[in-house]
Structure 1
Amino acid sequence: MNVRPAAALVLNPDELGPDPVPGMDLAVKLGIGQLEIRSAEGANALMLPDDRLKHIRALADERGLQVTALASPLWKWCRPEARPGRVDSFAFSTQVLPEKRLGWVERAINVAGILGAPIVRVFSHLRVEEDLTERFAGDPLLAKALEVANRAGVRLLLENEPVCTVAHAEPLLEVLERYHGQGLGLWLDVANLHEVGQATPEVVRALAPYVGYVHVKDYRPVGGGGRAFCPAGTGVVPYGEVLPLLRAACPVLPYALETHVRVTPADALAAGAAFLRSAVPGGLA
């Protein structure tokens, strides 16, 4: 497989529910030609049998859609003796024996191959009890995974996830500088960067050379320190500053809508697509 980068929108069908068909049909309606697959049919994509994955691929092919990314849960895990807090891992266990992890890496890359996805997301270990939290940089499994991915023509991209160990700019840059030559890139979630107080022009410029994929969601603060997800462009995430910087530094990128709006997700995705097409200089396909 060859990476198919594009300055284009990406839609995840599971934002509309476990049946991928409504999400794919919405993508067609909105003129979005690329998909991100995370879960389907009530299961994490890594847990689906090959015949169901081939069925999802066929559904996409019938509609002229390409699967651009597998939003895998790799490294969003800890040892079984650790106690993770509440974590959204989309029907995948957060406690994984170290000796089982390479098998899941290989499974994810195989799933990407079935779906035709050239990009696979990874995380960086869950933050748990201090003496049980694992380090991502230096993890021998990471070097092995990059070798396996490179042989398969798949690129691993690290998401900056606040519940994981690598979410702030300094450790992100440390890991990316260390492993970029081996193929690791950045799956940039702008809202996550804003959540840790670092969605600034300076940080975005520093991270931009490593970005291979952009996740777009938005939220508004609510009482008690919580947040309510809303259509992209209607919340507090500073996309007006960030998107022009990313476009200038990386003219060709996929921008994936991840609304998390529960009540009217299709409307939120449509509004987010319209916002991104107007907010990214030069527009998006």
Structure 2
Amino acid sequence: MSDAAVWKLSGFGDEISPDPAIQLAVLEALGARHVEVRSAWGVNVADFDDERTDALAERISQAGFGVSAIASPIGKVDVSLPVEHEVERLRAVIRVAHRLESRFVRIFSFYRAEERTAEDIRDDVLVRMRALADLAEVEDIVLLHENEKGIYGDVPARVLDIVESVGSGNLRLAWDNANYVQCGVKPFSEGWRSLAPYVDYLQVKDALFETGEVVPAGEGDGELLETVTALRDAGYAGFASLEPHLAEGFSLGGFSGPAAFGRAARAFDRLIAQIGVTTA
């Protein structure tokens, strides 16, 4: 390639610290100019009030940063809850997204009771995803469905079912290699060809098939090199958002700390350097 591809580096700030000042300082030291907002001061974005949102917006603006996405927990609830439950929560999250000037909002496609199968809940999931997409269309927001272990859209076939069945330009995909590995899926080999047309966002982490342990990019079984090469060849110029999960992972997120977060960033830099991609 004659011109090197440049992707926009971002990261889940709360994996670094609960304090946005530390989040932004570490990201800046790693060369990023964007942050992905999941929580700040220990409060999840779905629970932000106007005062907290304004304070975070001011802190981000003063640092000269932008917001790559709002990493909401929408859809990380049981599908048995009423449709309006997550629609109303999304409405609140979208207010935060507008204030932080982010068009991307991450969502999920619902948990189910242990005795129910994915097929059992398919229709209920699609009704809810359509309702969320309807609101996104009105609000000019792009929802990014993340493939997460245990939700309806955890494996490629069901992720494809969601985006094709809903059929909205305001419902796209965040791609997470590690989450696919934890579901026993070879991400690139078994999912990329069918899902690539819908991928608008890259979440960067890797994992091991044997244990499910999350590891830095390129150090696991997530076929990260094949994935980033395909993105480069397709002319991708979007975000690469670090979500290392190197210290712990839990239901609404994960944590790494500044040192491990830096290790994850350097591993990703080494990976994409092999294919002539840089970040800014």
- The TM-score normalised by the length of structure 2 is 0.84
In the TM superposition, residue 55 of structure 1 has moved relative to its aligned partner by 0.8
- Secondary structure of 1:215 counterpart: strand
**Corresponding letter in the other structure for 1:173:** L
Distance 1:220 1:190 in 2: 11
Correspondences of 1:181-196 after superposition (within 5 Å): 181-196=168-183
1:23 partner amino acid: Q
- How many residue pairs are counted as aligned between the two chains? 262
Give the structure 1 partner of residue 71 of structure 2: 71
**Residue matched to 2:39:** 39
Q: Equivalents in 1 of 2:116, 2:268: separation in Å?
A: 42
Task: Provide the residue aligned with 1:10 in structure 2.
Answer: 10
Matches within 5 A, 1:239-278: 239-262=224-247, 265-278=257-270
Contact 1:78 1:126 in 2 (8 A): yes
Provide the rounded CA distance (Å) in 2 between the counterparts of 1:177 and 1:55. 38
Q: 1:218 maps to what in 2? A: 206
Q: Which residue of 2 aligns with 1:165?
A: 152
Q: For 2:190 and 2:62, locate their aligned partners in 1 and report how far apart those are by CA, in whole Å.
A: 43
Equivalent pair of 1:137/1:175 in contact (CA under 8 Å): no
1:124-149 CA distance string (max 9 Å, x none): 11032344963367633322322221
2:60 maps to 60
Distance in 1 (CA, whole Å) between partners of 2:89 and 2:214 is 31
> Which of the pair has the greater relative contact order for Cα pairs under 8 Å at 6+ separation?
2
Q: Which runs of 5+ in 1 are unaligned?
A: 1-5, 81-95
Identical aligned residues as a percent: 28
**Aligned mates of 1:250, 1:123 — CA distance in 2:** 26
Identify the residue that residue 215 of structure 2 maps to in structure 1: 230
The CA deviation at 1:239 is 1.2
1:110 shift after superposition:
1.2
Of residues 145, 148, 151 in structure 1, which corresponds to 2:132? 145
3-state secondary structure, aligned to 1:139? helix
**What CA distance in whole angstroms lies between the structure 1 residues aligned with 2:64 and 2:187?**
35
Give me the whole-angstrom Cα distance separating, in 1, the residues matched to 2:258 and 2:230.
28
Aligned partners of 1:149 and 1:155 also within 8 Å: yes
Pair 1:276–1:19, CA change in 2 (3 A): same
Give the 3 Å change call, closer, same or farther, for CA 245–202 of structure 1 in structure 2: farther
Contact in 2 for aligned 1:16/1:266 (Cα 8 Å)? yes
Q: Is the 8 A contact 1:232 1:271 kept in 2?
A: no
Going from structure 1 to structure 2, the CA distance change for 1:250 and 1:122 (only over 3 Å counts) comes to: farther
